[in-house]
Every structure is written in C-alpha cells, then in structure tokens.
Amino acid sequence: MKIISVVGARPNFMKIAPFIRAIKDFNSRQTVPHGPAIGSQEELIEHILVHTGQHYDDRMSKAFFKALNIPEADINLGVGSGSHAEQVGQTMMAFEKVLEKEKPDWVVVVGDVNATLACSVTAKKQLVKVCHIEAGLRSRDMAMPEEINRLVTDRLSDLLLTPDTLSSENLRDEGTPDNNIVFVGNIMIDTLEANRRKAERISMESILKNNLLLQKQFIHPGEDKDYALITLHRPSNVDHPDVLTPLINFLLDEVTPDMPLIWPIHPRTEKRLKTFGIWDRIVENPGVILLHPIGYHEMLRLNMHARIILTDSGGLQEESTVLGTPCLTLRWNTERPITLREHGGASVLVGNNVDRIRKEYHHTLRINRKPQRPELWDGRTAMRCVEAIVNYDPAGSERKDNQI
C-alpha cells in the first residue's frame, strides 16, 4: 500500500510526526527477521511525505522537523506565501503532478490549513482515496478560512478520523456514513506525551537566550507560574487596528503590571503591529518579552509553567487542557469545544472584547491547574490511525451508503 501524507504549515508537523512513526512500527511488525511471517502477513506501507512549503521560515518549519525527528520531506512543492487562492491553486497544480507520478492508494491530510484543502481536492479528482486526520471539528464560523478547509476536506474524505466524540457527532449530523468515521483520539497528544519530559528539562534562561527577538530591557520571568504566555495570529484578531489596538492596550496596561508577558510572535502579527504603529509601544514596555516563533519543546515548557495563557491557536487550547493551564481563548467560537471548561477542559472563550477578557482574566487567575484527559487522548492515536487505514472496508461503507 502506498500512502502520501501532506504537511504545509506549522500546526501540521506535530500531527504528522507520530503518524510517520506509527507507519514504521506497523512495517516492522509485518517483517519477521527469520523465515516466513507468523500468521497473516499484511503488505508493507510505502510512505511518501510531501511538504507544500506554505510555511518556509526555518523557525516555522525546519526547526520542527528537527525537533520532532520528522524525516526530510520527500517532495517539497515550494508554494510559499500568497493569497489563499494563490496558495491553494499552486498547491493543487504541483500536487497533481506528484499524484500522476506516484499513483498512491491513499492521500492522508491533517488539520485544516490550505494544504489540507488543496491536496484533498486534488487527490479526489484523481480518484485517490483521502483520509483526514482531525476530522469533524466545526466552529460554524464561515468567516474562518480553516472552517472552509475543514468542511470541504471532510465532505470529500473516504476515511474520517476524529479526535473526540463531539466531532464524530458533527459528521453524522452532516450525513457522513458511520462506516467512514473512526474515533481515534487526538494525534497531537501523542507528540505531547512523547516530548513532555524533554520539555520539562528546558530552563527559562535557555529559552530566553535562544529566542529573544530583540535586545531590550525586560523583567525576568520566574520558572514557574510567574508569567503569562500569549500567542496571536488569526486574521480576525490581528488584521484590523480597531480590534488589535484595544487588545494590546489591555495587555500593556493591565497584564504586564501583574506579571511579565512572554510573546512568541507570528510573522503575520509582527507585520501588522508595525503597520498599525503599535510596535514601538510594545517594544518599550519592559513587561513584554518578545520572542521569535519558538520550537515545539520550548512552547510546551512555557505552557506547562505559565500562570495563564492567552491564545487564538487551536493546538494550544488542546495542549492547555491536557496540561491544565488556565487558558483564555481569544475567539468567539471554537471548533474544539472539548477544550472548554463546560466540557471539562481548561479554556474559556473570551473573543476580542476587552471588557470580557478583563473579567475572565481576573477570574482565571484564581483558578488552579486541573489537567484533563478527554477520551482517547492517550498518546496512542497514531497507531489507531494506521490501523483504520489498513482495515478500511469500502464495501462496508458502500453497503451503508446504500441503506440511506
């Protein structure tokens, strides 16, 4: 069986790393060193990794391959930055050639970035089966590019591997046949579990030494529960000055007097802050510690020991839930409701309205860490993904389709 798996942007890398390892494990279980295989020997999986090149900076891409031991991509489509139509269009054109040459049995896509959409559409048009890891998440916010990517990818996928039962329900409600849905758990938590001990050993000093964005005066954060951590990159938060400016005022005037604020900054956000003329005020504030985009282990370490995290990232919401870090999610909706306090998680939706953020910020500071582990977020999801692909039964889904 030949599988092409696809990555494009930073949040894909921690999802593909355990999947590639699980394929290796699967293959090693099929090969018996001496003599014939015991029992029924299934065929080996031939795997090709394609990187679309959407994220290309070393700190956004290469560093993650290295830290997570991901083998270098077999093929890089070199798509780079651009409008969404440019990214998707160029990915489709380049990926079509890859499919024509390689003729895989499956294309495996993860998450909800432009690479996920572009490669699932291209594969389906070439009559190649598509498997989507992290299927069924829904924010129901069509202004969010990722929601469009999720809807199209899930509609086209033959095999939909879900991280939680709420996502499986979403798919059933949309009419996806039961046989095509397999609840496997959250593959990102495989990466978290495999790396948390290494992350725990990193000191604050080394994070600062290796990642400071610029030389400036700053208040040194302590090792544990002595700092806030923020990440921001969603267009809805960073692309409009009337949204971004009050948010920054709140951080500078009301958070930094309480504790230092560590901010690994996304390239898009840095550009916007400069364009809107807010950058200098941030740089001048000694309570803000600006970092380059940081590595996987360093972010995990900062998350583990933050007193509070403010973020618009989906992945950080999930990691905070498992680590128990109180999390203010700077969005009005989430495709990951399992991470919310009402479902047992560590996060609360605060949107980008400062009054609401302020209220929840003060409430959240009084909350203690409460790590939670949703069902099957057990570090063994990747193995279940490989098994689901190998055991895929198209006849079963056809039968089911016929019944509807």
Residues serving a catalytic function are: 233
Per CB under 6 A, does 398 bind ligand UD1? no
Task: Report the distance separating Cα 30 and Cα 390, nearest Å.
Answer: 12
Please, what is the minimum distance in Å from the beta carbon of residue 114 to ligand UD1? 4
Per CB under 6 A, does 351 bind ligand UD1? no
Show the tokens assigned to 231.
Answer: 């990440």
Per CB under 6 A, does 138 bind ligand UD1? no
Q: Which stretch binds ligand UD1 (CB under 6 A): 15-23, 109-117, 128-136, 354-362?
A: 109-117
Binding mask 224-263 for ligand UD1 (x = CB under 6 A): ---------x------------------------------
**C-alpha dist (Å) from residue 179 to 73, 121, 137, 167, 176:** 32, 21, 18, 15, 9
Q: Give SS3 for 228.
A: strand
Given strand 129-133, what is the order of strands in its sheet? 75-76, 46-51, 2-7, 106-110, 129-133, 159-162, 181-183
Nearer to ligand UD1, 270 or 387 (CB): 270
Please, what is the minimum distance in Å from the beta carbon of residue 59 to ligand UD1? 8
Nearer to ligand UD1, 60 or 194 (CB): 60
Write out the DSSP string of 329-367. E-SS--S-GGGBGGGT-SEEE-TT-HHHHHHHHHHHHTP
Nearer to ligand UD1, 287 or 295 (CB): 295
Task: Report the distance separating Cα 309 and Cα 297, nearest Å.
Answer: 16
Q: Out of 30, 48, 102, 145, point to the residue binding ligand UD1 (CB under 6 A).
A: 145
Per CB under 6 A, does 54 bind ligand UD1? yes
Residue 31, burial from CB neighbour count under 10 angstroms (0-12, 13-18, 19+)? exposed
Per CB under 6 A, does 329 bind ligand UD1? no
Contact 166, 187 (CB under 8 A): no
Per CB under 6 A, does 283 bind ligand UD1? no
Nearer to ligand UD1, 233 or 343 (CB): 233
Please, what is the minimum distance in Å from the beta carbon of residue 334 to ligand UD1? 13
| Residue ranges with strand state E in 176-274 | 181-183, 228-231, 261-264
Nearer to ligand UD1, 5 or 180 (CB): 5
Nearer to ligand UD1, 90 or 397 (CB): 90
Per CB under 6 A, does 60 bind ligand UD1? yes
Q: Out of 5, 52, 91, 114, point to the residue binding ligand UD1 (CB under 6 A).
A: 114
Q: Out of 268, 356, 358, 373, point to the residue binding ligand UD1 (CB under 6 A).
A: 268
* Binding residues among 66-85 for ligand UD1 as defined by CB under 6 A: 81
**C-alpha dist (Å) from residue 91 to 47, 113, 114, 132, 142:** 20, 12, 9, 17, 22
Write out the DSSP string of 153-171. HHHH-SEEEESSHHHHHHH
Per CB under 6 A, does 146 bind ligand UD1? yes
Beta bridge partner(s), residue 132: 109, 160
Per CB under 6 A, does 56 bind ligand UD1? yes
Contact 72, 65 (CB under 8 A): yes
Nearer to ligand UD1, 10 or 47 (CB): 10
The candidate with the shortest Cα–Cα distance to 53, out of 84, 31, 75, 21, is 75
The residue ranges that bind ligand UD1 (CB under 6 A) are: 9-11, 54-57, 60, 81, 112-114, 145-146, 233, 266-268
